[in-house]
Each structure stands twice: as structure tokens, then as C-alpha cells.
A and B are shown apart, each in its own frame.
Chain A
Amino acid sequence: MVVPSAVTERHLALPTGLITAILLAIPGYFFGVWLGTLFGLFDDQNTGVILGYGFAVIGFLIGLGFLNYPLGRLMGWNMQPVPVYSDVDAVAAAARQGWTRYFSLSLDHKVIGLQYLVTILIMLLFGGIGAMLIRTSLLVPDASITPPGQYIMLIGLHAVMMIFITSAVILGPFGNYLVPLMIGARRMAFPRLEALSFWVVPPAAVILAAAIFWGGFPTGWTGYPPLSEQAGQGMDSYIVGFVLIAIALVTSGINMLATIITMRAPGMTWTRLPMFVWGIFTTAILGLLAAPVLATALIQLALDRTVQTSFFLASNGGSNYLWENLFWFFGHPEVYIFILPAFGIIMDIVPHFARKPLWGYRTGVVGLFGVTLLSWFVWQHHLFVSGIAPVLRPFYMLSTELISIPTGIIFLVTLGTLWRARVWYTVPMLFCMGFLFNFLIGGISGVYLSDVPTDVTLHGSYFSMAHFHYTIVGGEIFAMMAACYYWLPKMTGKMLSPTIGRVHFWVMFIAFNSTFFPLFIAGILDMPRRVSVYNPALQGLNQWVTYSAYALFGSMLLFAANLIYSWFFVTRPALANPWQVRGLEWQVPTPVPVNNFDRVPLIVAGPYDYGIPNARPVADFGGLVGATGGG
């Protein structure tokens, strides 16, 4: 038997990269449309559009190179199973790639984190413009600025774009970038899944935006059938885009869980884990378990729309309650997917700037898990007035109100950490304080909505709209801003201007409250959500809100200006540890080496051990002899 003397490295002939990906996505779309018309029994184009988007995404991913590795293994070629960044050659190769690696399939969690960040900031701009157009339309109580058709299209695009963003805004950029650094690993457990979880997001955003060419979709983000089955081909964008986001949530969920469970450095015990990692851990549980339910419901909706099943049509034996249950069974854990990483950020940043140990670390972790557990038992509070099973309403009222206990723990832990501290009020710390104020209002207004008698009046009104903007924008986005100002120096090697940062914070904080607090009042005074025509008596209130919303948008432009100014023009190189904190991620050099840690560190103390006499440094970077973790 002749054994090949050397297995030669072979690659696919296809040159892979972003350009190839786009070049393959376009024929993919037309192939799908053609296939759809082949099966087009119903002459409604939905089959073609859905298959078109599907094949475009498959073409896009193949063009990026997602098939190279599995195909190579199938062909028996000598494929490197995972990049080993301890390998000097691999490090040099990655460094040689330079900035182009941000535009190609990279398996480096730091590259993926930055890819996520930039993508999401661009999406945020478009979502924000949608919000500004909505607010402009509401300057007048009739539909004279924006016709009603365009108005509900804007509602749908703004809502779904923002849901895409907020699902990933912390988990994607900061989760991917920081989790390995914080637990002392050199990479994620499944780098290819990690890359996939990012590379489905840009197609999701593009497909969603493509709904404009079909006239949008009329359902908002909830997609209630039968309206969503009545809708035109814009609805198919909603379905395919959301399925892609569900894929991103599942893949990043399983990846984060595996990484945090198996790849912690020696000595990184569960009680030494930074709170941010706990936030990501609980989020990953929710993402992994909730997103498949959404995908199931979306596929049912797609079948209803294409091959004429009737899962959600009462007239043909289905029920729209099926969708409402499936959607909110995903939808309520989904809102905790937004906020749990934000809790993690707040509980992580506050002790570092208070320079005190986290007050009640274990209680804080219990709080996060309490929210995670309870979030599965509350979904029918979205359906109190829908007519589903009234006997169950007391149960859902109780379970929803119970969730304020673990949420209250987050406040307890944070305020306890601030107690008698010597707080350094940096820009990230300002955003943390803003978070506490905003999320308090968001949380308290949630109790109003959980109580059935008051929910009858407040349900589906601007009150509930103000409530979830307080929790998502005032909570999650404020936490995300704190994270940007805090961690971007590590991620980009450049400090953001603290002067612009302070102005940004105060404008954003005041404009945010001035925008959304009056909307509680509008909701209490009979203004339903998603209407282009409202009670003329509320015009003054709405004009005030619109002008505040412009200021809020202006504050986001200030943030963008700060990024551009600090990244490109007046670069102030960041020190390795500009905040002088104990977090493990700050102990590595800036910019972070490709292999993160030359040797896997030995963790010898917790990240928040400030003021403890004779506290040891957080880690011993001499490394263990024969350490294998994170290879």
C-alpha cells in the first residue's frame, strides 16, 4: 500500500471573500425566485420571494467560505481543524491580513466582535431614521405628513430593525469580544458557529430593508396573523430576516454556553466569574431555548403564506391564538435577552469605578438566574385582553409581578456597591447611573401593565410603548453606551473623548426622558400604539415628544461624531489599563494580541477584590506548565 509521502494542503478553487459572497448571493436570489415560480401553484410570488432570500443567504455564506472546511473534510483534504493562535505562523498570518480580515470570514473572536459592532451601529442609524420619520409624522394628529400606508411600513421597519439590533447589540460585539478575555481563554469553543452568528446578521438587515421595495409589511414586530397572511411580499422579508436572527441567537447561545462552561482558565471558579459573563451566560440560555420557538412559528407562517396551510386561520380550523402563544413564548424571554447582558454590564462596571467589591455577588447571580427562570412563565401577560383562558390570568399576573423581585436584586446589588464608595464618575459610570434611573421607571411601569385591571386600559397604548422603550433604550442602550465608553479603548486601542462623552450623556439622558416620559401620559389619555391619526387634544404633547426625539437622535449623532473623531482624527492611544481596574480583560496588552494570552493565565483572585487587605493580583500570567485550556 502506497502511503502519500506528504498530505498537501489544498483549497477550494473558489476565491472566498465578501465580494464573492455578494456575487453568489445575487444569482442565488434569482435562482430561488425561478424555483418558486416553478412551484408557484398559487401565483402570489411569496414562494419565490422566500426561496429567493433563502438561496441568496446560502450563496452569500458559501461565497464567504463557510463551506470550505466541511467540503474539504468531506474530500479528505488536510484541513486545519481550528486556528491555533499559539502557533507563531498563524499569528503572523493574521497580522499580515491587516484590515481586510474585517471584511472576510474570520474565526478570531476579536475580529467578529468589531464586525458586529460596526454592523450594528450602521443598523442603529437606519432604525433611528425610521423613528425620526415616525415622530415627524406624528407632529400632526392627521395623516397629512405621512400617508397611512407609509406610516405602518415605517412602524414595521423601525420595530423589526430595532429588535434585530437589540437582540445582538451587547451579546454580539461585547459578548464575542470580551467573554474569552474575561475567562482567560484564547478563543471561543465553536469559532465557526461564532462567525456564522455574525454573518447572518448583515443579510437579515438587508433582507429586512428589501421589504421597502414590496411596500413594507403592516404588522409591526409582532406579525400577528391573519394580518400577516393578508400582507404583501414585504412580509416575507420579516419572516426570513427573523429566522436569520433566530439562527444567530441559537448559534451564539450554544457557543457562549460551551465556552463559559468548558474554557475557563484554571482558577476561574464560578464565583470569580465577572458579572458580565454571568449576564451573557443567562442570556445564552434564553437565546438557545427561545429562538427555536420563534423559528418554528415563522416557518408555520411561511407555510401558511406559501403552500396554503392554515395553522393560524380560524376559518380553516387553525387559530391566531397559536401564533400569539408561540410568538410571546419566544417574545418574553426575548426581552430578557435584551436586558440580562445590560444587567451584567452594570454590575460589572459599577464595582470597578466604585472601587469596592460587588456588594452581594451571589445574590446578584441568583437575581440573574431568577429572571431567567421566571421569564418562561409570564408570556400570557401580553394576552390579558385577547380572550385566551381568563382563568389563567391571575397566574400570569402573579408570575409577572414576581419577576420584579429578582430585578429588584440588581438594584440592591448596585446600590449596595455604591454605598460609602469613592466613585470615579467617568463617562461609563454616568451611563450606569442613567441606566439605574431609566430602568427603575421602566420596571415600575411594568408593574402597572402586569396588573390585569389596569392593563385593560393600558394594554396596547402608548403607555406600554413608553414602558418598553424605557427598558430597552433607557436600559439596554444606556448599558451599551456604558460598555462602548468603557471597553472600546481596549477593543480599538483608542480612548473616546470624555468631553464629547459627557455632553453626549447629558443630552441623551435628558432628551430620552423628555421623549418617553410624556408618552406614558399619552397612553393613559387614550392614544393607542401604531396609529398615524390620534386624538387632536394630544397634539401639543406629541409635538413636544417629537422635538425631544430629534434631540435624542442628535445625541446619537454626537456619539457617532465621538467615534469618528476619536478613531480617525484625534487619536489618543489607550493604555493597557486606562481605568486601573482588576478585570482580567484589562491585564492583557492593548491592542490585544492575536492569541490573547501568551500563556493561559492562572486565576488567583476575583475581579472585584478592591480594598481587601493583601488582595492578590487577579491572575498569574507566568502560566502553568502544561496548561491546555483554550489551546
Chain B
Amino acid sequence: MGLRIEPADRPHAIRLLIIWVILSVIGVIAALQIPYPPGNQSIQGDDQAKTLQLLTALATPVFIGVVMMVIYSAIFFRRNTPELVDGPPMLGHTPVQVAWIGISAILVLFLAFVGITTLASDGVARTVGVPGRAIGGSTTGGAAQNQASELEVQVIAQQWYFTYRFPSYGGVETTHLEVPVDRPLDIHVTSLDIIHSWWAYELGVKADANPGVDNEFHVTPQKTGSFTVRCAELCGLWHGQMSDTEGKVVSQSDFDTWIAQQQKDYAVIASAVPSYAPSYFPAPLTKGS
């Protein structure tokens, strides 16, 4: 069955096609101009911004097409006689249906392909099967990095604060996070009590902190600057206040100075802090104490 357009359909179809092409071109160009969050402070954040841009560019023609049809119907396909008149008895049009389903399938499969390749470029291959971890992490994508140069950072969530430990600096624990620029980070997120979610907005990182679980992901900051950390999983009374605007991406030398100062400041508590571990079970139940 070939594509056959009835004469009565033709003026509507041509008009709609012209409007759609014009509006879509304008819309796509506009969509490509917007700066997309979370920005390019890290390679992974940049990937996310680019994916957002791609999605918006693809969604714009779809959105414009359907809205245009709705508005066009509201204007041109309305009853203009006082009495009710039945419309033409069209029961369906197989080529149009096949085309609609086919185009949406192609769009969807293309998006899934792009998403999976972005993920696979780092995440899936790397985070599965790493020894010593029960459950894999949520890598956020980005190019594969040289594993040896990675800086390991542990995020410890509790009600209602995030602290950070650096196993390669004697397990020193800090209240804020500073990381060196251009160095891949291997971040492990765990929780001492309930579920939290560590969201470093500008770095393009979000990972749930689960008690007893080491949730691992990789991120590479590529620009110095500050970033905001928030909790993105409802965790009780002070959930909204569980944020920190003092995260910093600094140069390697600034980082060395900072971490040395932290080691000195917190030496007094070093002996009391438990040795570094992928996760902690500090106190099991205190119910009915």
C-alpha cells in the first residue's frame, strides 16, 4: 500500500509541513544556543550537558510537531455550523501509522544508543568486577582514565553531614572536599545510617550513599573553581540543610598544601578514627536500648 494523500488532506498537510519545518529549524537553532547545566567543570559534567543539548535538539521538532497539530486542529478543525455534523469516516491509514511508529522507534533507539555509548566509554566496563566490592557503582560516563593516577576519595554520609576521607593520605578525614584539577577521581560513597545521595552539582555527579555499600564512580575535574554539594535523597529533618557550598577544584600544588594542613589539624583525632574501609557498620541497632 503506497503513500496516498487524498486531495482534501493535501492543503492541510502542505501547510503543516511548511510551518513545522520553519519552526523546527528555529527551535533547534535556539536549543543549541542555550548553555546547558551542569557546565563543563568536569569531563562527565560536560558529557551530561552535551547529552542534554542533544535531547533538547531532538525533542524540539517532536514537541513543535505535536503542539502545532493540536493548535491547528483547534483553529481549522472546529465545527462552524450550528448543528452537529459528522466528520469524514476515516478509520486509519496504515502507512502513516507505520511511519509514526517507525520514526519514534528510530528516535528512541538512537537515543538509547547514544546513552549507552556515553556510559560504556567509561562506566560499565570499569566498575564491574573490581575486587573487594560487593556492589558496583554509578559511573557517570566520560573517557577512560589512567587508573594508576586516580585519587581515591571516600564520601561518608550521615544524618546530616558529608565527610571525606583520603586513604592515600593516611585516611585523613575532612569536613569539606577539595580536589586537584585534571586528575581522575575514584570516589566511593557510603553511609553510616540511612540512604543519602551525594550530589556534587557542578561536577556532574550524583550517587546514593547506602549503609554498608560502597558506591563507586569516577569523575575528572577539568576546570578549577568551586562546586556545591547537596543531599538528593530525603533523609529526615535536616535533609534540605545537608548542603555545602565550599567544595573546591584547585591546582595540584594548592591541593598538596591543603591536604597537608588537614593532616596536621586532624592529627589529634587520627587515633580515634577507625581505619579506612569500603564501608562502615559503626553501630548496629540501638532500638530498645
- Chains A and B touch (C-beta atoms under 8 A apart): yes
Which of B232, B235, B243 has most chain A Cβ within 10 Å? B232
Q: Is the CB of A385 within 8 A of B207?
A: yes
- Interface-side segment among B146-154, B170-178, B211-219, B260-268: B211-219
Known A-B contacts A44-B288, A447-B55; A460 and B197 likewise in contact (beta carbons under 8 Å): yes
In the complex, residue of chain B having the shortest beta-carbon distance to the beta carbon of A415 = B69
- Taking the nearest CB of chain B, how far is it from the CB of A156, in angstroms? 9
CB < 8 Å neighbour of B51 from A388, A451, A535: A451
Complex Cα distance A422/B243, Å?
A: 56
Q: Is the CB of B137 within 8 A of A422?
A: no
CB < 8 Å neighbour of B86 from A355, A361, A441, A534: A355
Q: Is the CB of A460 within 8 A of B239?
A: no
Complex Cα distance A148/B79, Å?
A: 53
Chain A residues near B87: list those with CB within 8 A. 354-356, 420-422, 610-611
Does chain B have a CB within 8 A of A190?
no
Q: Is the CB of B78 within 8 A of A423?
A: yes
- Count the A-B residue pairs with Cβ separation under 8 angstroms: how many? 317
- Interface-side segment among B23-31, B111-119, B248-256: B111-119
Q: Is the CB of B238 within 8 A of A422?
A: no
Q: Is the CB of B141 within 8 A of A421?
A: no
Known A-B contacts A390-B127, A390-B128, A456-B138; A420 and B9 likewise in contact (beta carbons under 8 Å): yes
Q: Is the CB of B89 within 8 A of A451?
A: no
Does chain A have a CB within 8 A of B287?
yes
Chain A residues near B73: list those with CB within 8 A. 415, 418-419, 421, 423, 433
Does chain B have a CB within 8 A of A359?
yes
Does chain B have a CB within 8 A of A629?
no
Chain B residues near A402: list those with CB within 8 A. 108, 112
Chain B residues near A387: list those with CB within 8 A. 135-138, 189, 207-208, 210, 213, 215
- Interface-side segment among A80-88, A313-321, A483-491: A313-321
Does chain A have a CB within 8 A of B104?
yes
- Interface-side segment among A55-63, A223-231, A589-597: A223-231
Does chain A have a CB within 8 A of B132?
no
- Taking the nearest CB of chain A, how far is it from the CB of B278, in angstroms? 12
Chain B residues near A360: list those with CB within 8 A. 91-93, 97
- Taking the nearest CB of chain A, how far is it from the CB of B141, in angstroms? 5
Does chain A have a CB within 8 A of B88?
yes
Complex Cα distance A355/B86, Å?
A: 5
Q: Is the CB of B55 within 8 A of A454?
A: yes
Q: Is the CB of A451 within 8 A of B86?
A: no
Chain B residues near A314: list those with CB within 8 A. 210-213, 281
Within 8 A of B (CB), among A288-315: 308, 313-315
Q: Is the CB of B77 within 8 A of A421?
A: yes
Known A-B contacts A43-B288, A387-B207, A391-B128; A460 and B215 likewise in contact (beta carbons under 8 Å): no
Chain B residues near A319: list those with CB within 8 A. 212
Chain B residues near A457: list those with CB within 8 A. 37-38, 45, 48, 52, 201, 204, 206
Q: Is the CB of B70 within 8 A of A433?
A: yes
Chain B residues near A531: list those with CB within 8 A. 230, 239-240
Complex Cα distance A524/B35, Å?
A: 11
Complex Cα distance A189/B210, Å?
A: 47
Does chain A have a CB within 8 A of B140?
yes
Chain A residues near B22: list those with CB within 8 A. none
Q: Is the CB of A420 within 8 A of B281?
A: no
Complex Cα distance A148/B235, Å?
A: 12
- Taking the nearest CB of chain B, how far is it from the CB of A104, in angstroms? 41
Does chain A have a CB within 8 A of B257?
no
Complex Cα distance A544/B246, Å?
A: 29
Does chain A have a CB within 8 A of B41?
no
- Taking the nearest CB of chain A, how far is it from the CB of B51, in angstroms? 5
Chain B residues near A526: list those with CB within 8 A. 37-38, 199, 201, 228, 230
CB < 8 Å neighbour of B204 from A43, A390, A424, A456: A456
Chain B residues near A388: list those with CB within 8 A. 135
In the complex, residue of chain B having the shortest beta-carbon distance to the beta carbon of A148 = B237
Chain B residues near A44: list those with CB within 8 A. 287-288
Chain A residues near B199: list those with CB within 8 A. 460, 526, 528
Does chain A have a CB within 8 A of B273?
no
Within 8 A of B (CB), among A205-252: 218-220, 222, 224-227, 230
Q: Is the CB of A321 within 8 A of B37?
A: no
Q: Is the CB of B86 within 8 A of A356?
A: yes
Interface residues on A, range: 35 or more
- A406-444: CB near B (< 8 Å → 1, else 0) gives 001101100110111111110000000100110011001
CB < 8 Å neighbour of B101 from A405, A530, A610: A405
Q: Is the CB of A453 within 8 A of B140?
A: yes
Q: Is the CB of A460 within 8 A of B238?
A: no
Q: Is the CB of B287 within 8 A of A359?
A: no
Q: Is the CB of B123 within 8 A of A320?
A: no
Complex Cα distance A453/B74, Å?
A: 38
Does chain B have a CB within 8 A of A13?
no
Does chain B have a CB within 8 A of A384?
yes
In the complex, residue of chain B having the shortest beta-carbon distance to the beta carbon of A351 = B87
Complex Cα distance A424/B241, Å?
A: 52
- Taking the nearest CB of chain A, how far is it from the CB of B234, in angstroms? 5
Q: Is the CB of B233 within 8 A of A224?
A: yes
Chain A residues near B47: list those with CB within 8 A. 453
- Taking the nearest CB of chain B, how far is it from the CB of A363, in angstroms? 5
In the complex, residue of chain A having the shortest beta-carbon distance to the beta carbon of B190 = A387
Complex Cα distance A219/B235, Å?
A: 7
- Interface-side segment among A68-76, A392-400, A509-517: A392-400
Q: Is the CB of B86 within 8 A of A610?
A: yes
Complex Cα distance A456/B48, Å?
A: 8
Chain A residues near B228: list those with CB within 8 A. 526, 535
Q: Is the CB of A436 within 8 A of B51?
A: no
Complex Cα distance A504/B189, Å?
A: 49
Complex Cα distance A226/B195, Å?
A: 7
Chain A residues near B55: list those with CB within 8 A. 447-448, 451, 454
Q: Is the CB of B234 within 8 A of A385?
A: no
Q: Is the CB of B210 within 8 A of A405?
A: no
Q: Is the CB of A391 within 8 A of B193?
A: no
| Contact surface of A with B, Cβ cutoff 8 Å | 42-44, 143, 148-149, 151-152, 155, 218-220, 222, 224-227, 230, 308, 313-316, 319-321, 354-357, 359-363, 384-391, 393-394, 397-398, 401-402, 404-405, 408-409, 411-412, 415-416, 418-425, 433, 436-437, 440-441, 444, 447-448, 451-454, 456-457, 459-461, 524-526, 528-535, 580, 609-613
* Interface contacts beyond A227-B195, A363-B92, A524-B37: sample of 8 additional A-B pairs, CB < 8 Å, sorted by A: A226-B195, A393-B124, A415-B69, A424-B84, A437-B70, A451-B111, A453-B44, A453-B115
| Contact surface of B with A, Cβ cutoff 8 Å | 8-9, 12, 37-38, 44-45, 47-48, 51-52, 55, 59, 62-63, 66-67, 69-70, 73-74, 77-81, 84-93, 96-97, 100-101, 104-105, 108-109, 111-112, 114-116, 118-120, 123-124, 127-128, 135-141, 189, 193-195, 197, 199, 201, 204-208, 210-213, 215, 228, 230-241, 243, 281, 283-285, 287-288
14 contacts between A and B (CB under 8 A): A42-B287, A230-B194, A363-B97, A385-B207, A385-B208, A422-B79, A422-B85, A423-B74, A423-B77, A423-B79, A440-B66, A457-B206, A459-B206, A460-B206
